[in-house]
Structure formats: C-alpha cells, structure tokens
Structure 1
C-alpha cells in the first residue's frame, strides 16, 4: 500500500501557526501519510524585520527547522494544506508569494485533482480567521485542488476551529494553542490524509489490474 503524500506549506512569525502546522502533520502521519513541512520565507529585509522585536530571531530558528516550499513539493504531494496567519483579513504575503510561484506547474495542469485544505491563526477575536481561510478557498479553486472543509464532522469542532479549517486566536501572542485547537488541527491532517489514501489506493489497484 502506497503512503499518501502531504505537503504542509505554512508561514508563521511568532509560532502559533507553526504549532497548528505541527498538529496537522501529526494527524496526517497517524493516518499513514508521508509529510513535508515547509515554511515560506520572509519577503522583507533585515531592516524591516528589526522593527518588530523577535521577528528576525524567530524566523532564523524556524528556517533552520524547515525548508522553504518549492513547486516540486506541490507536484510531489497528493494533498496540499496551507497555513497562514491573518493579514488584514486575508493571506500573509509570504505564503501568497509561494503560491504565486506555482504558476508554471499550474499551467501544466500538474496540481489538478490534488486535495487541498487550509488552517490559520490571528491575534484578536474577529481578526479575520474565517475570511482568511475562505480567501484561500478561492486560490485552491484556481489551482484545481479538491477543497476539503471540516464541517462539524468531529466533536472538537464544537469547541474550536471553524468548518473551513483549524484556527487559533493568540490574544496578541499572549497565548498558545490549547488542546481543543490542536485536536481540530490533528483531525484536519488525518481527514485529508485518509481521503488522499483512498485515492492513492484506488490508483494502485487500477494499475495492478491493468498490469
């Protein structure tokens, strides 16, 4: 049985979105998936990063842990799960820059039919979590991904997250994701990985029958 391949491409500055990404990866691995965790890179120079205390240091630490996402990663994957903090109710420019760089493989049709999901975080209540996730639904549709919402298909979703994907509110970076938030994220990774596995298994069976 072939393991489904999951790309988790995310951007995180202060660690909240990173923690969700790790939980998504954990859930996907529980479902038997091979996971690539990739962090999008900053688009500004050190002089801008220096204006926000801890930004440069945090970025350096995370960049040591995670490779930058590539177009090859997206082609490799059976499912792509994007993670982003909210920026004025929409996607962070760092992650959007990575997605915009997928134009070549998109044009070749190499992303069509892959599963897609999204998760995110924001600093404040009503800070745009749902609008951010929904804005990426538009992007995933253009890429040709099969969008996988969560609905209310798990008990954890009655305590945290959204029907569109896992979310977290950091209260101006004073809090870290709790168990309810992480449970939704783990479920999201598991749910998408299980769907991808069904497709991979069907493809393997079809290949075997035609051999």
Structure 2
C-alpha cells in the first residue's frame, strides 16, 4: 500500500516551513507519496507586509498550495507542523482545521495515522501543550496518533519531547535536528503502511 501523506504546516517566519520540508524529504525517501501544503494565511495582507520576515516567508512559500479538505480526503496519513501561540497551535492552523467539519462528519478523517511538530521562541514556550492540542483534535476525528515517543536516541539529543519534534526558533537545524524530524516522518509512514 502506498502511503499518501499530507504534510500541512503554518509558518510566519519559516521555521515550521523548514521542518515540514525536512519531513517531506524523509517521507518520500521512505516511499510515501507526499503533498507539502500550507494552512492558509488569515492575517490581513497589510499586517504581513508590515513585518519584513513575515513578508519574506510569504513570498518564499507562494508556490506551495494551500491545504484543502480534498487534500485531507486524498491522504491516508497527516503530519502537521505549526508554531505554538500561548500553548496551543497558531490560529491559522486552527482556522484551517475548523473548515474540516464536512469531511469529519462523513468519516473522511478517521482511521488515519497522524503526527505533529511545533516550535516556539523559547525552550518551554508551550510546545508540549501545543502538540497535545493537535492530538485532542485527532482523537475527535477518530485518527490514530503516531507520536515519536522515545523510539530513537536522537529524541533525547534534541530536547527529549516524546509528543513530537519541537524547535526553538532561531536555533540551527543541525544534523541531529534533521535526524529527529526525519525519524518522526519515517515512523509515521511506517505506521500508516501497517494500518493499510
């Protein structure tokens, strides 16, 4: 069975975009068909344009399609990546998820393997609660949470978060960081393939 993985991210300044791209490469190498997608921007254009780094990221990601309910129905696995905002996912990601009521109501989101990643400006900026906020939604869908747990030693080397990779904004994407993200993506593909 081919795993059809939708990687949906939101990124104001590029951190989660980079995390999603690393995961996409690892998932493709593991044999998955991957769609790299972004949650639609909900901030007004003038607000985005008023912050140089935000505008630069919007331009960099202009060719990446916005995620849709059709993408969610196409996929048989999902990997989400979004920054934390006050201990939960960024509102842009939440807004996208809130558009999926029709797909959820007909069972199109159930029984699919799901994992999540996040970032924050500081090491204890709400990453774990943000990941749990994703997984709470997934449980409502009837999805199957595939957290990395402590299934690879690299988890301990990159912060020890068993819920999903979390990045401190502004720190480097070292080989260990890339390895942790890649491990999570591969694990998701492996579990999704087993679910058939």
TM exceeds 0.5? yes
5 Å-filtered alignment, 1:26-65, equals: 26-64=25-63
Mapped to 1, the partners of 2:53 and 2:153 lie a distance apart of 36
Partner of 2:88: 90
Unaligned runs of 5+ in 1: 201-211
Give the aligned partner of residue 199 of structure 1. 195
Q: Where in structure 2 are there 5+ consecutive unaligned residues? A: none
Write out per-residue CA displacement over residues 51-86 of structure 1, whole angstroms, 9 at most, x where no aligned residue: 32321232122122x100010111111111111011
For residues 156-171 of structure 1, the aligned pairs below 5 Å read: 156-161=154-159, 162-170=161-169
Whether contact under 8 Å (1:79, 1:196) holds in the other structure is yes
CA distance in 1, matches of 2:74, 2:45: 32
- CA RMSD in angstroms, aligned pairs only: 1.3
Please show how residues 118-129 of structure 1 align to structure 2 within 5 Å: 118-129=116-127
Q: How many Å separate the matches in 1 of 2:191 and 2:110?
A: 16
Match runs of 1:123-142 below 5 Å: 123-142=121-140
C-alpha separation in 1, matches of 2:179 and 2:190? 16
Where relative contact order (Cα < 8 A, 6+ residues apart) is larger, the structure is 1
Q: CA deviation at 1:8?
A: 0.5
- Rounded Cα–Cα distance in structure 1 between residues aligned with 2:23 and 2:17: 10
The alignment's TM-score, normalised by the length of structure 2, stands at 0.94
* Contact 2:113/2:146 (8 A) holds in 1: yes
CA distance in structure 1 between the aligned counterparts of 2:40 and 2:58, rounded to whole angstroms:
8
Instruction: State the distance in 2 between where 1:90 and 1:177 align.
Output: 23
> Would you say 1:108 and 2:106 are equivalent positions?
yes
The answer (yes or no) to whether the contact 2:146–2:191 under 8 Å persists in 1 is: no
SS of aligned partner of 1:86? strand
Q: Distance between the aligned counterparts of 1:135 and 1:198, measured in 2?
A: 25
Once the two structures are TM-superposed, the CA of residue 89 in structure 1 deviates from its matched residue by 1.2
Given the two structures, how large is their TM-score scaled by the length of structure 1?
0.88
Aligned to 1:176: 172
